[in-house]
Copies of this chain bind each other. A is one copy, B any other.
């Protein structure tokens, strides 16, 4: 497929630094089966693909997905290119459940954001009242 030029790789330290986490976190994700970097001897070697996966995981974490949920989703990104009808169908069913769940969370977030914004607006009004 590719004896290509863009074969940049990362060490644990580099990748952790770049994405603002610790190396411990990367090891933990690996132990939990979310990442599977290849090795050069003992040392972990992260490819651009690993890095992309990690970014997806971290993004999910920021709005409250558990590691298990993150893993399920990133695994599905890979499985979606399967060629077996049955697998694709179960996958699709699960994906639709996940989509519904994410929409609920999105709605919860939206409502909360609106209320916080309203509260800030209330503050501003009271301040301008007091300043006159």
Contact = CB atoms under 8 A, between A and B. Distances in A.
A88 B130 contact: yes
Identical copies of this chain, number: 2
Contacts of A85: 127, 130-131
A16 B74 CA distance: 35
Nearest to A104: B62
> Chain A interface secondary structure, helix, strand, loop or mixed?
helix
Contacts of A32: none
B108 A95 contact: no
Interface in A87-110: 88-89, 91-92, 95-96, 98-99, 102-106, 108-110
Interface stretch (A6-14, A19-27, A42-50, A75-83): A75-83
A123 B56 contact: no
Interface of A: 56, 59-65, 73, 76-77, 80-83, 85, 88-89, 91-92, 95-96, 98-99, 102-106, 108-113, 115-117, 119-120, 122-124, 126-127, 130-131
